[in-house]
Structure 1
Amino acid sequence: MTAQSPERPSDRPAPADWWRGAVIHQIYPRSYADTDGDGVGDLAGITDHLDHIASLGVDAVWISPFFTSPMKDFGYDVADYCDVDPVFGTLADFDRLIDKAHGLGLRIITDLVLAHTSDQHAWFRDSRQARTGPKADWYVWAEAKADGSPPNNWQSVFAGPAWTWDARRGQYYLHNFLPEQPQLNLHNVAVQDALLDAARFWLDRGVDGFRFDAINFAMHDPLLRDNPPAAPGGKRTRPFDFQSRVHNQSQPQIPDFLARVRALMDEYPGRFSVAEVVGEAAEAEMQAFTADDRRLNSAYGFAYLYADELTPELVRRANAAWDGRPGQGWPSWAFSNHDAPRAVSRWRQGRDPDRFARMAMLLLMCLRGNVFLYQGEELGLPQGDVPFDRLVDPEAIANWPETLGRDGARTPMPWRADAPHAGFSIAEPWLPVDPRHPPLAVDRQEADRSSILHLTRRLIAFRKTEPALRLGDLRMLDAPDPILAFERAWGGEVLTCVFNLGHETGTWRPIGGFALLESVNLDGPAPERLPSLSGLIGRRLAI
């Protein structure tokens, strides 16, 4: 039997669609690299390490917020959309980062937070002064009930009511997150215009795209109706979890606003837009926010990020809705990010972390959609251990010890195993370096050709050479749990991807001819025997 060379469409997407099937590396700038010795990462630190990022073979870099901010939520509380916070550097530093990235063939994507600002933003300072004025209606204000209580029962994500009293206006203002993050009123077209102007500012500086943070929180029910109780079941660690959030998020007018965003971005060819969508209606919203090629390009879901266990059913469910039908957008997937505990710690269930990290990396590179790879994931980092007295994340502090919080996913990047603070900074970092991380540092893994760092490079390169993985359809195959099997097909070529997600050795037998192309954690060349946490990719052979 010999492999047949199928006729296939062009292996490379058109330049405007560079993002389709791309691998995008997320950088959390506070924790990447510190160049000025204050214990906090900065833009210059990212620039200094762009060669490392380029060596991974990724297509783009998504940088979490670096805008002017009082840092109550570490940059997601924006005080000035059009400047860099001094802790991260200057606009000139950002321009140097863009220039070097583009010179290395990397595109730069930034966060854009459109649902809320900081309470230190000039817009909010103006809005809270009086009930009349140019910006009086730029935020969500409402009267107290007759007894002085908040206007309705809405709860904030982090803890407690989503309303805070402001004596200046004699009204409550809405905040879906911290009280220091007042909600913008995007029903007001002037607010939309101002946010589009902020986006244009960065597009003009050469930004290649945006991730739109918490975009399904961008609008509220103007009638301020109470949220109904949540359906029974599910984990409840916050008052927020007790409600079905149908009125303080997920409003039907959001897609129309996103069409305005898309129209702006289409003025800049080759730019990429992705929505962050989380919540009980996330799947439907991801579809709505990306429909008909006139809204956003992609949507960033939490199907994996908030899952406690990696199972075949989870993968089937996450991919079921993204079947490529006409008018459908394009999904994006991540196993780890700055808002969720690292996948190695969430999912390994006592199994070897290195084996798990390798298998998870192969699986991630096989999914249909864009791949988001979080900093340190290429090193197989586990969730950092942050003691209570070092926590800074407001959600982790408020809900301790019921949630792992976000700090453990944000600990410093380990660059040099034997350097102080793993080479992240010469000063004590803003979060501690977990002692398990220096042995996994970049310099150690560079010197070890068998490391997960070298595996990550190989798998990204393999994904780039196989259009079936970047662009093809995904079809699930019948396999007994805990075996996960699916096919990726493009232009007549079919790749079969198989993983043992369980704790014991399993078996899987291909039908017909089969050439093994890539694998992790296999005991030998035969694909029939699948040890725990093994995975493989093979090409179907013609008879």
Structure 2
Amino acid sequence: MMADNAERWRGCVIYQIYPRSFQDTTGDGSGDLSGITSRLAHVASLGVDAVWLSPFFKSPMADMGYDVSDYRAVDPMFGTIEDFDAMIAEAHRLGLKVIIDQVLSHSSDRHEWFIESRTSGDNPKADWYVWADAKPDGTAPNNWLSLFGGPAWEWDATRRQYYLHNFLASQPDLNFHNPQVQDALLETVRFWLDRGVDGFRLDTVNYYVHDRWLRSNPPLAESVAGINTATSTYLYQEHLFDKSQPENLAFLRRFRALLDEYEGRAAVGEIGDETRSLQTLAAYTGGGDKLQMSYTFDLLGPQFSAAHVRGCVEAFESTVFDGWVCWAFSNHDVVRHVSRWTRPGGDPDRVAKFSIALLSCLRGSICLYQGEELGLEEAELAFEDLRDPFGVRFWPAIKGRDGCRTPMVWDAGADNAGFSTGKPWLPIPASHRSRAVDVQAGEQTSVLASYRAMLALRKQHPALVRGSIRFLDAEGDVLAFIREGGDEKLLCVFNFADEPAGWQLPPDLDAIEPIDLGGADGVLQERTLSQPPLGCFLGRIG
């Protein structure tokens, strides 16, 4: 990490761990905290700065832990609070910061707060969740939709009111208009800060606050015109009132003030806001009094082209002036990027190596998802193997998120590839075994070796960590930009095409000294850079 306390997280590399699929030590087929501790040396060997743990809190697991029933307890399937403390200690020993997932927008319907809230309209926690009367005809208070399908309102027979749920009906939304709710949630955050946590990934950070007048969302113009072909009806609305409300900024300032009581702590927010994501990111990370970083879904989709990446980065640079972005190509909610971006007949390993080179050169912090350092592709699962409620609900049009959540592969020859001695909670594809850590560890040309080399190179060049970025015009599917910081100025060129590409250096660029990327670098002769398909070039401008 950087020495400056206020800026230490800018340019960092974060490795996301999905605890249920990382390492099992008990033989029950599900990963646990002790398993994470036993494998942290592998994570440290990549050269990352921090690990991000998806939820491990006590939960009925209706949404794989994103439905929390106790914010201060470890779910028994993951171990104990002592196991967590041991994991923190080992991470810190290895020089790794620890970020944990905080799911504050909603809780489980099994949480004691909701159990009390639903008993009546006048109990001490009656206003801790978003309750509303039915319309005179018995229908929901407005037209808000759940991201998981259907209305965002569920009728409760005990209170004889509807409650809001932006996700599953078993994930009721907390009422952030109530200061007591904010206070209680911040105290749960303090609990983990006191245990040594270094930061937080804030799940669905722009969903915290709803419109207090419960106004209905307007339709998207594309929907009205019949253009919208989205599988989910959620995308047929312009979500003006069910999320991204201005009052959320005040809560984020309170959250930041709490973090600032502890040295070097930080938060990265997940923002899903359709067409307003950049504006929301700017508001949430600007001013130095809210989040240190946020990330969007801009590079988590199927688009794989120089124009798309340039458009996303330039839009961020022109919109977000003093905030900071965290770029990611994969996570636990999307199809793995090697599968998304490998064209028919293409080489997944080339795509994986190209991707980490590109990600390492972009301006911003970066987040890696477990298994991408092995070049793992999306797993093809049968319907009967699915555990994701989103996939079960929308199958077969949407296959859900289980395909990117299958267990890590450590030892190709071991039972269940070294993940567990019991039956894994999700199947391990046979094709993943050949990409196991032990297979790639000794291969200098492996995807794993490329990840280690690129992350080491990124740390060796301050311009890549914190420097500015300026794009250069290039024909075809070539992305060219300059990273500059301190006394360093670097040229970065990436050929996204399946064919070789030639690029003429601009007249103002002279004395380019190539930096070895370990293959597919391209050849610079006179003023022409020739690159193979999916070629990467990095050069020092002297």
Cα distance per residue 1:434-476 (max 9 Å; x no partner): 1110100000001212211111111111111111000001111
1:230 Cα deviation after fit: 1.6
Could you tell me which amino acid in structure 2 is paired with residue 221 of structure 1?
Answer: D
Q: Who is 2:434 aligned against?
A: 439
Q: Secondary structure of 1:469's match? A: helix
Matched, 1:274 2:248: no
1:317 Cα deviation after fit: 2.0
Q: Who is 1:315 aligned against?
A: 309
Q: Secondary structure of 2:90's match? A: helix
Q: Who is 1:424 aligned against?
A: 419
Q: Using a 3 Å threshold, how does the CA distance of structure 1 residues 303 and 518 change in structure 2: closer, same or farther?
A: farther
Could you tell me which amino acid in structure 2 is paired with residue 256 of structure 1?
Answer: A
1:481 Cα deviation after fit: 2.4
Q: Who is 1:190 aligned against?
A: 180
Q: Who is 1:145 aligned against?
A: 135
| Contact residue 131 and residue 164 of structure 2 kept, 8 A | yes
Which of the residues 105, 116, 133 maps onto 2:95?
105
Could you tell me which amino acid in structure 2 is paired with residue 486 of structure 1?
Answer: F
| Contact residue 519 and residue 534 of structure 1 kept, 8 A | no
Matched, 1:396 2:394: no
1:111 Cα deviation after fit: 0.5
1:231 Cα deviation after fit: 2.5
Which of the residues 242, 249, 254 maps onto 1:255?
249
Distance in 1, Cα, partners of 2:200 & 2:522: 44
1:409 Cα deviation after fit: 0.7
| Contact residue 368 and residue 469 of structure 1 kept, 8 A | yes
| Contact residue 25 and residue 375 of structure 1 kept, 8 A | yes
| Contact residue 133 and residue 162 of structure 2 kept, 8 A | yes
Matched, 1:331 2:321: no
Matched, 1:516 2:514: yes
Q: Using a 3 Å threshold, how does the CA distance of structure 1 residues 288 and 218 change in structure 2: closer, same or farther?
A: same
| Contact residue 23 and residue 59 of structure 1 kept, 8 A | yes
| Contact residue 359 and residue 521 of structure 1 kept, 8 A | no
Which of the residues 104, 119, 137 maps onto 1:129?
119
What RMSD in Å do the two structures reach over aligned CA positions? 1.5
| Contact residue 520 and residue 535 of structure 1 kept, 8 A | no
Q: Using a 3 Å threshold, how does the CA distance of structure 1 residues 539 and 121 change in structure 2: closer, same or farther?
A: same
Q: Secondary structure of 1:49's match? A: helix
| Contact residue 294 and residue 325 of structure 2 kept, 8 A | yes
1:526 Cα deviation after fit: 3.6
Matched, 1:374 2:374: no
Q: Using a 3 Å threshold, how does the CA distance of structure 1 residues 421 and 493 change in structure 2: closer, same or farther?
A: same
Q: Who is 2:540 aligned against?
A: 539
Q: Secondary structure of 1:494's match? A: strand
Distance in 2, Cα, partners of 1:475 & 1:138: 47
Distance in 2, Cα, partners of 1:356 & 1:60: 24
Structure 2's unaligned 5+ residue stretches are none
Matched, 1:96 2:94: no
Cα distance per residue 1:248-289 (max 9 Å; x no partner): 111111111100000000000101111100121111111100
Cα distance per residue 1:124-173 (max 9 Å; x no partner): 00100000021100000000111111111111001111010001100000
Distance in 2, Cα, partners of 1:399 & 1:380: 27
1:523 Cα deviation after fit: 7.2
Q: Using a 3 Å threshold, how does the CA distance of structure 1 residues 21 and 30 change in structure 2: closer, same or farther?
A: same
Q: Who is 1:14 aligned against?
A: 4
Q: Who is 2:110 aligned against?
A: 120
1:403 Cα deviation after fit: 2.2
1:324 Cα deviation after fit: 8.4
Q: Secondary structure of 1:17's match? A: coil
Distance in 1, Cα, partners of 2:478 & 2:185: 47
1:238 Cα deviation after fit: 1.4
| Contact residue 137 and residue 188 of structure 1 kept, 8 A | yes
Distance in 1, Cα, partners of 2:519 & 2:218: 48
| Contact residue 414 and residue 422 of structure 1 kept, 8 A | yes
Distance in 2, Cα, partners of 1:217 & 1:118: 16
Q: Who is 1:503 aligned against?
A: 498
Distance in 2, Cα, partners of 1:112 & 1:46: 18
1:404 Cα deviation after fit: 3.7
Of structures 1 and 2, the one scoring higher in RCO (CA 8 A, sep 6+) is: 1
| Contact residue 485 and residue 496 of structure 1 kept, 8 A | yes
Could you tell me which amino acid in structure 1 is paired with residue 180 of structure 2?
Answer: A
Could you tell me which amino acid in structure 2 is paired with residue 342 of structure 1?
Answer: R
1:17 Cα deviation after fit: 2.7
| Contact residue 11 and residue 363 of structure 2 kept, 8 A | yes
Could you tell me which amino acid in structure 1 is paired with residue 302 of structure 2?
Answer: D
| Contact residue 409 and residue 436 of structure 2 kept, 8 A | yes
Matched, 1:179 2:169: yes
Q: Report the number of matched residues.
A: 530
Could you tell me which amino acid in structure 2 is paired with residue 522 of structure 1?
Answer: A
Distance in 2, Cα, partners of 1:256 & 1:320: 28
Could you tell me which amino acid in structure 1 is paired with residue 396 of structure 2?
Answer: P
Q: Using a 3 Å threshold, how does the CA distance of structure 1 residues 491 and 104 change in structure 2: closer, same or farther?
A: same
Q: Using a 3 Å threshold, how does the CA distance of structure 1 residues 317 and 327 change in structure 2: closer, same or farther?
A: closer
Matched, 1:386 2:381: yes
State the TM-score, normalizing by the size of structure 2: 0.95
Q: Who is 1:3 aligned against?
A: none
Q: Secondary structure of 1:45's match? A: helix
1:401 Cα deviation after fit: 1.8
Q: Using a 3 Å threshold, how does the CA distance of structure 1 residues 529 and 394 change in structure 2: closer, same or farther?
A: same
Could you tell me which amino acid in structure 1 is paired with residue 51 of structure 2?
Answer: V
Cα distance per residue 1:317-364 (max 9 Å; x no partner): 221244389962111010000011100101112211001100001001
Could you tell me which amino acid in structure 1 is paired with residue 388 of structure 2?
Answer: D
Distance in 1, Cα, partners of 2:207 & 2:522: 50
Deviates more, 1:516-525 or 1:463-472: 516-525
Distance in 1, Cα, partners of 2:267 & 2:245: 20
Q: Who is 1:481 aligned against?
A: 476
1:489 Cα deviation after fit: 0.5
Q: Using a 3 Å threshold, how does the CA distance of structure 1 residues 12 and 67 change in structure 2: closer, same or farther?
A: closer
Q: Secondary structure of 1:495's match? A: strand
1:522 Cα deviation after fit: 2.2
Matched, 1:295 2:290: yes
1:12 Cα deviation after fit: 4.4
| Contact residue 521 and residue 533 of structure 1 kept, 8 A | no
